[in-house]
Chains A and B, each alone.
Chain A
Amino acid sequence: FMQVSAASMAQKISIDKNNGSLREVLNDIHRQSGYSVFYDVDLIKNARPLTLHVKNASLEDVLKACFTNQPFNYRINQKTIVVIPKPVTASLPQAEKSDQPAPAAQTITGVVTSTKGETLIGVTVKLKGSNVAAVTGTDGKYSIRLTELKGTLVFSYIGYVTKEVDINNQTVINVTLTEQEKSLNDVVVIGYGTQKKASVTGAISSVKGDILTEAPVASIEQGMSGRLSGVQVKQSSGQPGAGISIQIRGAASIAGGNEPLYVIDGLPQFNSDVRTANGLNSINPNDIESIEVLKDAAATSIYGSRAANGVVLVTTKKGKSGSAKVTFDTYFGVQNVRKKLPLMDATAFKAYTTDFINGAANFSAAAKTTYLNELANIGGGVNTDWQNETMRTALNQSYNLGISGGNDNSQYFISANFNDQNGIIKKSDFGRYALRMNLNNKVADWLTIITRSTASRTTENGFVNTDGSNSTGGGANGIGATLLAVPTVPVRNASGSYSKVSPYSFSGPATESPAALLDVLNKTTTYYYQGGIDLVANPIKGLSNTTRLGFNYTNTRGDTYYPSTMVVVTKQSARLAESKKYGYLFEDFLTYTKTFGKLRTETVAGFSAQQDNFSSIILAGTGFPSDQLSDNAIQAATSAAIPVTSITKTTIASFFARTQLDYNSKYLFSASFRRDGASVFSDLHKWANFSSFSGGWRIGEEEFLKNTEVSNLKLRASWGQTGNQAISPYQSLYLATVVNTAQGSGSGVGVGLAPNLANKNLTWETTTQTDIGIDFGIKQDKYRLSLDYYIKDTKDLLATVQLPQSSGFSSISANVGRVQNKGVEVTAGATFVNTKDVSFSVDLNFSKNVNVVKATNRNRDILSDPLNAGNNALTIVRVGQPLFSFYTPHFVGYDSNRFPIYQDVNGDGLINASDNQIAGSSLPNFFYGADFNFKYKSFSLNMTWAGVQGGKINNLTAYQLTLPDVQFNKLSTINNYYPVVSDRFVARESDQFIEDASFFRMKNIRLSYRVPSKILKINNLSFYVSGQNLITFTKYTGYDPEVNAFSGTNNRQGIDYFQYPTAKTITLGLSATF
């Protein structure tokens, strides 16, 4: 039907043609001007040959020259040139229609509008089976003269579904055109360029910014959750601002990181940017134009050494020429805890404890008497629900203002965002102030400057140590303290001080009062800046050169202060950690587009250099003259710790190239190459090459399918390699790490040097991926389906090879082992109804990934560290099993005493680490999502559901809360684990606590009302009410199945260990566009 491109190019046109076809000339204009050109191939068959010699003429002049003496006209609408038939109106009687019967006597008029109510300009209105046609004017009106009021009018418009209306003696026919679904003319962002979706040969999932922010998300990744096939978004905890991990097509690396590469506006982020410096939290989701997730090697290979885990391209909005457009969005939300854990109340606790003490084999009779007295006397009738004491109803608010506009030469997009999310645990919150300014400026006909910059400040207050650290049996962790605190003590003593929550002499290691922990300052403040300048030059026809300078800067300050109200933990203990990270990028690439007959080619080649610098300072001390100083005056500490500072630098240099061939819009081929050099490897292994090849066949464009209901059918296949170099710097050097000890200095502080173990042989992890895909659409893509099958083989795994500890080193990073991921991804969508008043569409996605370890170092098992010294290893890497399978004793049942029995694998009569067995893994069997969009007149209803099937959670929270002792409070469901109250058996971390992680939840539901534009002068005003996590189906007994206590630690995935609970939220919002 037509052709499109959105590249931005010079507007001075030069044409040198003798007897050329209009089609060729229009193609030239498109390439030189960057304007998209749409035409009906059948229509311009009648075009007259053109002879045109112009140099540096204006677009308008050239177009005028082209269309003089042609049987059609053109219109320009938003950088799009539409070829339309010459209107057959009263004012323009058609001489060309001399073959027509007698002069027409009937006129039909009407208005063509979009489903959004906008009038459409330039819609072609044609009598079916004739050449009689008209075009709508600026008011959307048309007028067509016919000989009789019979037949069918065909309304066609680019980007909209063509509509046919029987005339049936009507003289006024008003028509509403609906937008084409998921138009193949959409442009997707790819590495170092953009591409028409129709021409894509790789596996790319895309989500637009407005979809991303449909739910009130604080961070981009939350909006991606459940929407993209092959992309698993894992939230580590419910704490506002908490890290989120994303896995694309499974995990492959043992030690090298499994997070994708993020490329924000062309600036690849070093892995640690996103993982540790809160990089995505710092970005305002409202600024996002689109997110593209590159999944297969065809798409990712251009990013070479960092692309093995997939690539997420984040593109921010830019201004459009036209009058200023102001958007304002705000919402206000209320959050409540989704679920509380069933803990014992004071009565149950006393009953349990009494039973336990009475039956205890390890307590003497005297001790039992003492204990029972304490139990009776301490606390009295108090019944404290510590979960209630620390949780609250939390309020959220967000304000976002965006202004965009510009003229043909300069466009701007400016936004300001304030986001304030309170957590359902008191004192926890996340806040963001963000500003953005994206400017595009055409400084000369051949040169455009594109600048993007954003600055933000985010703050995160947390409930102390929600990272799952366990310095005092879980009690130093806020959630841990809440759950472990006994219910028989009041929050405060009569004196006003916090009471001790482990008050009995039989209590366990002293646990801090959760109420006291709420007083602790635990704040992270991040200042973030990212800026970039692209200089795009078009020196000659078809060639553009992009010079890109990128810079980002992150300053993170972590404040921790334990005031003197602490009951157990060290009072007046301060820690100030400040880290600074800056990175810069310089790259230059050429893009050359040329058409040889039916073969369209586009080639990109360039180089890139990037450096990342990190430095940190950690200061700590205890004992201050006043709590007011908090951690702001470490010099006032009576005992200051030795400051710790560090500085590291990482660099990458790259050369890359890609060529894309498109023959007759049917046969597609693409090849890419990247050569990367990374500082983190020794001189032997600094450089590596990565390449990919892919092809596509658009069967839908073949003649035999041309006039069928099939609107799109494409086969894709790709093969390629990518790498992973996400290891810490300096591992190939023999370094001396500074260690502190008092040895050698008497009572002061001495400095020692500790040698490390260098690995000169360390090299890239290489992932080879094959992908076969099919895209299918019928009825103008009203119904659409995409399928992908992939096999991802990762070899030379960057693994931590455990060394015999007698070597003096516990491990070394080395390239050993192989992991395979293979899987299927399906996305399907249907637009069942799409009229002016009613529309209903559903989009589904499904992803299945099978992960298996193919080889390890000498095919030995790799065990993770236990969570607490003296316990089981948590996970194992074993050939033939999924990565990081849980490894634990198997709970068999109960013996005649109703004590738990564990399987004695080696039959030695003992249950210990050698009886561990694999007990599943955290990796799901499959996951899926569904989006429902329903609209009736001014109301629309959207729902996003997401689910995970299979996969396990190791519920160590439950393990800790059911230990057969009287040290802490317990789950009231302890009987489900241990049916008798006794100290005569040993409870173990076992598969009894490994639970099914499956869930299906309504992530988001939103009902919105758009005030009809007739009522208000402004373009768009809508109100909505939405809810998040309102419905969840799961068998998981912990706070939430979407839990990941150690989200940044590869070998500790899927563990629930005193995690921050998840909230459900109700939000009211308003969105306005002026």
Chain B
Amino acid sequence: CKKFLAEQPQSQLLYGNFDAQSIESATVGIYEPLTRSRGRLWESHYTAALTLLEDYAHSRYTPQEAYANYDFTQITYQDNFWPTFYQAISRANILINVLQGGTFANGNKYIGEARFVRAICYYQLVRCWGKVPLRLQPVADAQNTGQPLAEVAEVYNQIISDLQFAEANLPNTTTQYGRATAGAAKVTLADVYLTLARYADARTKAKEVMDNKSVYGYDLLASFSDIFSPTSATSSEEVFALKFSRSNGLGSFVADYAASINQFQGFAAAGNETFGALSTTPFIKNWDDNDPRKAWTLYNKAVVNGTNVVINVAPPNDLLYGKFRDPLAPSETGAGNDFFLYRYADVLLIFAEAENKVNGPSADAYNAVNMVRRRGYGVGITTANAAVDLPAGLTQSTFDDMVFRERGYEFMEEDKRWFDLLRTGRYKTEIPAAGKRLPPSTLFPIPALEKLTNDKL
């Protein structure tokens, strides 16, 4: 009778009885929440939300437009980002707990990966919500699940500690593209230092990666648009990316969310036009039309039956984003474009910004920015080019503005500008200049469900 009633799952494994294969899979499982096609994270609403928070962006839809208006009471999509980050964190905590409780070959490598994912999730959380529950252990039982909010500094300290462990324990490169590496940990760390205005530390980390770029296999790709190829498995540009595959349910949703609802060929399987941009805003108006990145990233024309037609973009926008495009995606959830958290251009621009803060607009700082610009313009990366390079003799403060602007051009639709606006304080001027109201709050509210269920808040 006892045997008759025993449960032996067949299509699921018991968690924790790891062998060499299943420990790999358990590690991959930590990343998975961040890559779900309909999980509404980077691939879709997270990017939609962060882009809409930027100065030049608007939405044609009522609730989404609330992001552009900084009215978080009118929209709750952010309530879905929260559990997704914490799901990855929870998986990391569970794996770390299991690995620390036993002896496993390469245990510290897997712990390093788990801590890396945990760090990038807390980094997103702390920038979006400020004080958040800092969970470092799995929940033990169903009754004691509350966790108080941690101070922002405490969260950052944990992020730094996790990333330092990761850089010390992760391999320099991986052939399992998308898995964390020591280089990825260092670049993330440099970015975290930048956010914390620890410029010297940021500079050191970025320089460490630049000086050893061959060790980590990094370099700028010659072509800007090739970076976003839906079919590329990886490239030297990639530092850390969320990997998507051209397959139903395993692809990115970003291409689709940004594409025209009139579904012009060449961009996506379908179109939602969830977020767009306004050409009259200063940042876009001032963007050099000769910069090929502009035409690749923003468009209002498409080729239909061989002729260029103007796309009727729904107001208030008049431009759509085209950075991520996969015309051959089998469905909305099947675009193959990877989404970069960090690519080599980040390293250069982090360095340029930090170097300028520490040493002023040095030749190294100029060179780092100019390499990104030259690649963007499609000219020789290592050859000085007066038409493309930043003008010489900039003041430290103007140079800083130029790096900020460059990051805006280079990383548009890559979830960076809103955080740049915040950490530099520029949101106070740039956002009103683009005709939007000054954000009453720059942080998302803690989700109502969390408040209802977390008795330690």
Interface residues of A (CB under 8 A from B): 362-364, 367, 370, 502, 505-507, 509-510, 568-570, 573, 609, 611, 620-623, 638-642, 645-649, 651, 653, 677-680, 686, 729-730, 732-757, 759, 761, 801-810, 812, 814, 858, 860-861, 863, 869-871, 910, 912-914, 965, 986
Complex alpha-carbon distance, A738 and B455, angstroms: 32
| Known contacts A744-B179, A986-B62, A734 near B16 by CB under 8 Å | yes
User: A736, B177: Cβ atoms under 8 Å?
Assistant: no
Complex alpha-carbon distance, A686 and B90, angstroms: 29
Give chain A nearest CB distance to B444 CB in angstroms.
13
User: A745, B13: Cβ atoms under 8 Å?
Assistant: no
Q: Smallest CB-CB separation from B175: which chain A residue?
A: A746
10 contacts between A and B (CB under 8 A): A364-B315, A370-B312, A505-B314, A509-B261, A568-B263, A639-B248, A738-B11, A741-B32, A743-B243, A750-B178
Decide if B73 is an interface residue (CB 8 Å cutoff).
yes
| Known contacts A809-B139, A814-B142, A914 near B261 by CB under 8 Å | no
User: B76, A870: Cβ atoms under 8 Å?
Assistant: yes
Give chain B nearest CB distance to A718 CB in angstroms.
30
Q: Smallest CB-CB separation from B28: which chain A residue?
A: A752
Complex alpha-carbon distance, A994 and B257, angstroms: 33
Complex alpha-carbon distance, A810 and B80, angstroms: 11
Of B32, B233, B242, which one neighbours A747 at CB under 8 angstroms? B233
Decide if B30 is an interface residue (CB 8 Å cutoff).
yes
User: B330, A570: Cβ atoms under 8 Å?
Assistant: yes
Chain B residues in 8 Å Cβ range of A752: 25-32
The total of chain B residues at the interface (CB under 8 A) is: 98
User: B4, A755: Cβ atoms under 8 Å?
Assistant: no
User: A751, B25: Cβ atoms under 8 Å?
Assistant: yes
User: B178, A753: Cβ atoms under 8 Å?
Assistant: no
Additional A-B contact list (10), CB under 8 Å, known A679-B6, A736-B14: A362-B316, A568-B263, A641-B248, A642-B250, A744-B28, A745-B245, A747-B177, A749-B250, A802-B452, A863-B452
Complex alpha-carbon distance, A750 and B24, angstroms: 10
User: A747, B336: Cβ atoms under 8 Å?
Assistant: yes
User: B11, A645: Cβ atoms under 8 Å?
Assistant: yes
Give chain B nearest CB distance to A752 CB in angstroms.
3
Give chain A nearest CB distance to B405 CB in angstroms.
28
Complex alpha-carbon distance, A573 and B138, angstroms: 40
User: B7, A733: Cβ atoms under 8 Å?
Assistant: yes
Lowest 5 A-B CB distances belong to which pairs?
Answer: A808-B90, A752-B29, A639-B330, A804-B454, A746-B233
Q: Smallest CB-CB separation from A503: which chain B residue?
A: B262
Decide if B132 is an interface residue (CB 8 Å cutoff).
yes
Q: Smallest CB-CB separation from B35: which chain A residue?
A: A741
Complex alpha-carbon distance, A640 and B27, angstroms: 26
Complex alpha-carbon distance, A749 and B251, angstroms: 10
User: A743, B11: Cβ atoms under 8 Å?
Assistant: no
| Known contacts A568-B270, A638-B330, A861-B452, A808 near B76 by CB under 8 Å | no
Chain A residues in 8 Å Cβ range of B177: 744-747
Of the listed residues A649, A755, A858, the one surrounded by the most CB atoms of chain B closer than 10 A to its CB is: A755
Segment of B81-89, B362-370, B373-381 engaged in the interface with chain A = B81-89
Give chain B nearest CB distance to A650 CB in angstroms.
9
| Known contacts A639-B246, A680-B7, A743-B32, A808 near B139 by CB under 8 Å | yes
Chain B residues in 8 Å Cβ range of A640: 247
Q: Smallest CB-CB separation from A805: which chain B residue?
A: B83
Number of CB contacts from chain A to chain B under 8 A: 281
User: B142, A870: Cβ atoms under 8 Å?
Assistant: no
Give chain B nearest CB distance to A1030 CB in angstroms.
43
Complex alpha-carbon distance, A870 and B274, angstroms: 15
User: A746, B178: Cβ atoms under 8 Å?
Assistant: yes
User: B7, A622: Cβ atoms under 8 Å?
Assistant: no
Of A362, A748, A805, A912, which one neighbours B453 at CB under 8 angstroms? A805
Of A363, A738, A860, which one neighbours B315 at CB under 8 angstroms? A363
| Known contacts A729-B7, A870-B77, A804 near B29 by CB under 8 Å | no
Interface residues of B (CB under 8 A from A): 1, 4-16, 22, 24-32, 34-36, 40, 62-63, 73-77, 79-80, 82-83, 86-91, 93-95, 132-133, 135, 138-139, 142, 145-147, 176-179, 231-234, 242-250, 261-263, 269-272, 312, 314-316, 330-332, 334, 336, 447-450, 452-455
Complex alpha-carbon distance, A569 and B332, angstroms: 9
Complex alpha-carbon distance, A619 and B232, angstroms: 26
Complex alpha-carbon distance, A680 and B8, angstroms: 10
Complex alpha-carbon distance, A741 and B244, angstroms: 8
User: A913, B247: Cβ atoms under 8 Å?
Assistant: no
Chain A residues in 8 Å Cβ range of B448: 913-914
Chain A residues in 8 Å Cβ range of B34: 743
Complex alpha-carbon distance, A739 and B13, angstroms: 12
User: A806, B147: Cβ atoms under 8 Å?
Assistant: yes
Of A364, A509, A742, which one neighbours B316 at CB under 8 angstroms? A364
User: A750, B316: Cβ atoms under 8 Å?
Assistant: no
Chain A residues in 8 Å Cβ range of B4: 609, 611, 651, 653, 679
Complex alpha-carbon distance, A846 and B7, angstroms: 44
Complex alpha-carbon distance, A755 and B11, angstroms: 14
Chain B residues in 8 Å Cβ range of A754: 29, 32, 91
Q: Smallest CB-CB separation from A615: which chain B residue?
A: B11
Chain B residues in 8 Å Cβ range of A814: 142
Complex alpha-carbon distance, A124 and B336, angstroms: 89
User: B249, A641: Cβ atoms under 8 Å?
Assistant: yes
Of B5, B89, B234, B248, which one neighbours A620 at CB under 8 angstroms? B248
Complex alpha-carbon distance, A804 and B247, angstroms: 33
Of A641, A730, A802, which one neighbours B9 at CB under 8 angstroms? A730
Chain B residues in 8 Å Cβ range of A505: 262, 312, 314
